[in-house]
Structure formats: C-alpha cells, structure tokens
A and B are shown apart, each in its own frame.
Chain A
Amino acid sequence: MAETSSFDLLPDEQRLARFMERIETGEKIEADDWMPEDYRMTLIKLISMHGISEIMGALPEKEWVPKAPSLKRKLAIMAKVQDEMGHGQLLLRVAEDLMEPLLKSREHIIQDLLSGKLKFHNVFHMEAKTWGDAGLIGWLVDGAAIITQTNMLNASYGPYARALKRICAEEVFHAQHGEAIIMALAEGTGKQKAMIQDSIDRWWDALLMFFGPGDASTTGTSKQDITMKYKIRTKTNEELRQDFFSKYIPRVLSLGLKLPDETMHFDKTEGLWKYRQPDWSQFKQIIKNNGPKSRERLRLREISYTSNKWVLEALSVRV
C-alpha cells in the first residue's frame, strides 16, 4: 500500500467529485484507487455473481462431455467448459481485489454461494436435457451473455473491462461452437429438427429472463440506475433484451424454427419487439435457488469443494 497522499485527506464530497470527473473523462478506476462505497459494493455484487455464474454455468455443459455425439464434439465442449472455469478464475480475481478492504476473500465468495447469499444466473439453474440444449446454451445463452458483456467492455472499472475483453474474445468461439451444433441439427433429420424446437420452447422464458426484469418492481431492487450512473454499463435490461431479439430472432426464424410466443412481433413505429412477459415470479424463485437444478448443482460445487480440500492441505505443509 502506498503512503497516505493528499488525495486521501480530502473530504468525501471532494473525492467523489474528483472520482466522477475521472469517470466522465473516460479514465479507468483501478483496484487501489479511492472509490465511493456504493460503487465498490455494486461492483462486488455484479462481478462475483458474474464470476460464480461462469463456474456454475460449466456444470450443465460438463454433463455433455461424455454424452456428446462425436470425439470432435467432446473435445470442443470440453474446451468450452475449461474456458468457462477460466473466466470464473479471472472474474473472481477482480472481485477479490475489490473485497480486500472488507477483509474478505475467495473463501467468502464460495461460502456465500453455498449459503445462498450469492446468486448465480437464472439460466444455470435449468436442466440441459438434450444435445439440442447443449447447442442452444452455446448459441443463445452465450449469445445473450455476449450482448450483456460487450455492453460493459468500456466499463469505468479498469480490471473488469480488461477481464471482459479477454472473456468476450473467447465467447466468440463459444457462440460459433453452439451455432455449429445447432446448424448440424437444423440441417439434420426431422427428429433432430424437433429436438432444437423443443429446446427453444423449454429455454425461451429463461432466455428472456436472462437480461433481468425491466425495472425494480419485480425483484424489489435493481442495480440498473447505479451501474449506468457510474458508467459500468450503458444500456438498460430492456434495451439489452431488445438488442438480443434484433440479433437472434431473424436467425432463429431463418432455420425454420418457431418462437414459442405467437404474439411476438417487431413494432415498426415504436422500433421495438413486442413480446409476452415471462413469469417473473418464477424468476424470483429460480434466483432464490429454487430452480429445477439449483440444489443439485450447488451440492455438486460443495462436494468438489470439500473433497478437493485435501489438495490445499497437502500443498500447505511446509517441509
């Protein structure tokens, strides 16, 4: 830690003014810089949730490593699982540096995950039942993730922006890996086509929910305003959801797939996609770890955490 500088001696409001000025001029905030408490807390929540979601997201996909239909597909999905764990490592580092002044570490992140205090993304509570689901995760779930993550590539917090640059570059592979699976099925037999239609039908609501509710009325709180004020992101949940529709709906339809929402259409005068809202009460339940696979996956994490503890202990022995 550096010595106390004159900046540290300034009253809070002057430090905040200076901080906002830095953000406005596009300067990046670094881990050791002064930052307002709500900026730190918002980032910790956002980034630890993102990091742990990468790790929890690897779980439904890893189930498909032994079941993937060819050696090439097994290798590809294994590489993707490895990437997701790598992204988790990267993001947890960013969160940990922010948590250091609070005397918290990775241990606390894992404990908060297992106790239910730290949430993970709604999509990773769902079951990946078929090979179509494995393809859909790469294509549309990663597609949705790319939309939200590219929106933060210029985030005011430097370490997060740098982590996202690395992550988004790899997400491009993931999306194409998913597209390759979907394309093979879409050009395959009737049974294979039906398989992806079934995946879309089952995953549709989860995909809409991925971007979060439009405002705070659903879950009681929303970090949208604060993340935009501090230039962590630039678009609202609804804007991101609309971007996702614009990018992906034409592709879904071009493959002869049907949207599970017959009301869905693009309103030209408003320039917006009109769609049926998913059941947001279900969303609330899912993120409270009451989703179809929530408990099972948390249990899996807990098992690997406890059963690998001996490695840490063995390595800690000083000889």
Chain B
Amino acid sequence: MPDKGFYQEFEVFSKRSDASPLQHQFSLLAPNHELALVMAQENFMRREPVSDIWVVKREDIRKMDLEEKQSLKRLDNKDYRNTKGYGYLKKKWRVYEQEILDEREILSWGGEPEK
C-alpha cells in the first residue's frame, strides 16, 4: 500500500440512539483508533444525534467481491417466507367475521413501538 505508514483507513459506524441499529457512516484516515474516534465525531457527527461510535480498521473487514455479491440475488419465488404469501387469509377471515392478525397488529402487542 502506498505510504500508509502513518495513516490507516478506518470505517466508521454509529448509532443514532441507544435503541437504533449500528449504521455505516463513511471512512476516514487516522494514525490510530483513538484519533479515528475523534475524527469520526468531527467529520460525521456535527449535527446528527449520536449515542455511540465504532471505528474498525478497514484491513480487518472481509468484504464481498463482485462475484460473491451475485450470489445474494434472490429468485422471486419465495412468497411462502413472507406475509405476502398469506395475504389471501385476510379475505378468508372476513368470512368468519374476524380481522387478520397482521404484522402491524402483532408487533403492537408489546406496547408502544420504539421511536
């Protein structure tokens, strides 16, 4: 790698709030993890709310190449894995004067959804 003696590439991830998932932000150059954290805050978190930042050396990340990414493409024949494949139940339940328990209904049982 070209004169990378000093700077190394870091990928930056952060969480918007304690309840949010980790999200990739961008990459940066820094001489070590500590400065990478400082730079991450300066470069990417000037306005957005943030509750945690992770920095990962890029060389420690195993990415997929183009060919491997091809294997991620799905055939559109898996309705049975999704509620889409069971949509007809709504009509059926109506015959029995019942509402379908759909995703929205079921996920609401735990109380107020996380904002």
- Chain A interfacial positions (CB closer than 8 Å to B): 2-3, 5-7, 32-34, 79, 82-83, 86, 89-90, 93, 96-97, 100, 103-107, 162-163, 166, 170, 312, 315-316
- Chain A residue nearest to B58 (CB atoms) is A97
Please pick, from A7, A86, A162, A315, the residue contacting B46 in the complex, using a CB distance under 8 A.
A86
CB contact under 8 A between A106 and B29, given known A100-B2, A315-B6, A316-B5: yes
11 residue pairs A–B, Cβ–Cβ below 8 Å: A2-B68, A5-B67, A33-B66, A34-B66, A96-B29, A100-B1, A100-B2, A166-B26, A166-B44, A315-B31, A316-B5
Chain A residues within an 8 Å CB radius of B64:
2
B63 contacts the other chain (Cβ, under 8 Å)? yes
B60 contacts the other chain (Cβ, under 8 Å)? no
- Chain B residue nearest to A22 (CB atoms) is B66
Expressed in whole angstroms, the Cα–Cα distance for A162 and B25 within the complex equals 9
Chain B residues within an 8 Å CB radius of A89:
28, 39, 43
- Chain B interfacial positions (CB closer than 8 Å to A): 1-7, 26-29, 31-32, 35, 39, 42-44, 46-47, 63-68
Please pick, from B1, B4, B43, the residue contacting A90 in the complex, using a CB distance under 8 A.
B43
User: Contact between A103 and B2 (Cβ–Cβ < 8 Å)?
Assistant: yes
Expressed in whole angstroms, the Cα–Cα distance for A79 and B67 within the complex equals 43
CB contact under 8 A between A86 and B43, given known A93-B28, A106-B7, A166-B26: yes
User: Contact between A5 and B27 (Cβ–Cβ < 8 Å)?
Assistant: no
Chain B residues within an 8 Å CB radius of A93:
26-29
Chain A residues within an 8 Å CB radius of B1:
100
A284 → chain B closest CB, angstroms: 32
Expressed in whole angstroms, the Cα–Cα distance for A96 and B27 within the complex equals 11
Expressed in whole angstroms, the Cα–Cα distance for A310 and B46 within the complex equals 27
- Chain A residue nearest to B42 (CB atoms) is A86
Chain A residues within an 8 Å CB radius of B4:
105
Expressed in whole angstroms, the Cα–Cα distance for A42 and B55 within the complex equals 30
Interface SS, A side: helix
Looking at A2, A34, A104, A312, the one whose CB has the most chain B CB atoms below 10 A away is A2
B62 → chain A closest CB, angstroms: 9
- Chain A residue nearest to B1 (CB atoms) is A100
Chain B residues within an 8 Å CB radius of A107:
3
B10 → chain A closest CB, angstroms: 10
User: Contact between B26 and A163 (Cβ–Cβ < 8 Å)?
Assistant: yes
Expressed in whole angstroms, the Cα–Cα distance for A32 and B6 within the complex equals 22
Chain B residues within an 8 Å CB radius of A100:
1-2
Expressed in whole angstroms, the Cα–Cα distance for A163 and B28 within the complex equals 12
Please pick, from A5, A79, A105, A106, the residue contacting B65 in the complex, using a CB distance under 8 A.
A5
CB contact under 8 A between A7 and B43, given known A106-B29, A315-B6: no
Expressed in whole angstroms, the Cα–Cα distance for A106 and B3 within the complex equals 9
A212 → chain B closest CB, angstroms: 27
User: Contact between A82 and B66 (Cβ–Cβ < 8 Å)?
Assistant: no
Expressed in whole angstroms, the Cα–Cα distance for A316 and B35 within the complex equals 12
Expressed in whole angstroms, the Cα–Cα distance for A170 and B45 within the complex equals 12
Expressed in whole angstroms, the Cα–Cα distance for A170 and B47 within the complex equals 9
Chain A residues within an 8 Å CB radius of B65:
2-3, 5, 32
Chain B residues within an 8 Å CB radius of A104:
2
B56 → chain A closest CB, angstroms: 15
B111 → chain A closest CB, angstroms: 33
Chain A residues within an 8 Å CB radius of B42:
82, 86
Chain A residues within an 8 Å CB radius of B39:
89
CB contact under 8 A between A105 and B43, given known A5-B65, A163-B26: no
CB contact under 8 A between A162 and B5, given known A5-B65, A5-B67: no
